[in-house]
Amino acid sequence: MADGARRATMTTVARALGVSPSTVSNAYNRPDQLSADLRARVLATAARLGYAGPDPVARTLRHGRTGAIGLVYDEPLSFSFTDPAAVLCLRGVAAACERHAVGLTLVPRLPAGAPDLVGTALVDGLVLYCLPADDDRLRVARERGLPVVAVDSPRPPLAPAVTVDDRGGARAAARHLLDLGHRRVAVVAERLAADGWEGTAPRARQDANPYDGTRERLAGYRDAWEAAGLDWDAVRVEERAPYGRDAGRRAARDLLADRPTAVLAMSDELALGVLDAAAARGLRVPGDLSVVGFDDTPSAAAAGLTTVAQPHLEKGAAAARLLLDLPGGAAAPPPLPTRLVVRTSTAAS
């Protein structure tokens, strides 16, 4: 079995057996097109020569189908496995891939300057997760002619997308605090632009946010505020990057100096950071401070956080289905619902 020669190919097998390549092809792809006997001989010869079946790449070139979809993410790849909300969404995507028997290719973001893998990944379509509206990778994917579907930004008409009622959820969260009598409320935000800036985000920055999900959340908070006849511009929106629990801690450390009675965190990870900071400062939650998150991740639930639930798994699965169900591309579903989940991190002011 020493193979000094090149790897066996369909032609090799065909020649060894004195048949034509198409017969060997048929042995693999259309068993009914040849006698059982010949087929058995083909397979036996293939085994003897160490031929493992049609080369997937060549077959893909012929068929134009790779059997995988790609996932593009705005953070380092390892983040896909770090952020609880991302993990849930990915689980949904992965489950759908499994059902459709296609692979899921995580497409890494490369250091600027490197030729983008979005342009070369061997996939039949791409899920764009949490990209800013003007991200170049959207354009590259489009030019390749690949079907794309965005999740958590960008939205139509920029790209077909699975959307979530972020705004409604955020509105409910803010109204909840207002109903409890809170008026001195601060917001902890993740990045509102790709520039790594940190600080108290002015209104212009809030509105120019290219990440649709978070822009909508902020808009939802504001809706509730203005519906109550209050001045949104008086609400401090403290932005931190990079995203994560620590960002929440750091934002809260600054914010708490203002002695707010409540904090709206734009995600549960940030909210957990706020809880950390509150504890470090000796504040009781919800006695001294109410905190509302967003996402309803498992650890938020464990911490008793009041938050806004969204169907993460369904969101991911819907995105994958959009790519996989109808090759042409089905219509995007209506916005998925969000729901306020009241736990023990909020109380009357």
Partner DNA sequence: CTGAAAGCGCTAACAT
Partner DNA sequence: ATGTTAGCGCTTTCAG
Residues at the site binding its own copies, with contacts judged by CB under 8 A: 7, 50, 52-53, 56-61, 64, 66-68, 70, 76-78, 80-82, 87-88, 90-92, 94-95, 97-98, 101-110, 114, 117, 119-122, 140, 143-145
Please, what's the largest Cα pairwise distance for the chain? 87
- For DNA, the closer CB: 39 or 109: 39
| Least separation in angstroms between CB 120 and its own copies | 4
Q: Does 11 bind DNA (CB under 7 A)?
A: yes
Which residue spans within 46-138 are E strands per DSSP?
A: 68-73, 103-107, 126-129
**Length in residues, the chain:** 349
Phi–psi pair at 251, nearest 5 degrees: -65, -45
SS3 115: coil
Interface pick for DNA out of 33, 99, 106, 281 (rule CB under 7 A): 33
Say how many C-beta atoms besides its own lie within 10 A of residue 201's C-beta.
22
With CB under 7 A as the contact rule, the residue among 15, 43, 59, 236 that binds DNA is: 59
The DSSP string of 220-288 is HHHHHHHHTT--GGGSEEEE-SS-SHHHHHHHHHHHGGG--SEEEESSHHHHHHHHHHHHHTT--TTTT
| Residue 34 touches which member of DNA, its own copies, none, C-beta under 5-8 Å by kind | DNA
Options 18, 111, 145, 328; binder of DNA; rule CB under 7 A: 18
Name the residue type at position 115. Answer: P
Instruction: Give whichever of 21 and 335 is closer to its own copies, judged by the CB atom.
Output: 21
Closer CB to DNA, 54 or 335, in the complex = 54
Q: How far is the CB of 35 from its own copies (least distance, A)?
A: 22
- Answer with the entry of DNA, its own copies, none that 119 interacts with (C-beta below 5 to 8 A by kind): its own copies
Whose Cβ is closer to DNA: residue 20's or residue 299's?
20
307 and 296 Cβ atoms separated by less than 8 Å: yes
121 binds DNA (CB under 7 A): no
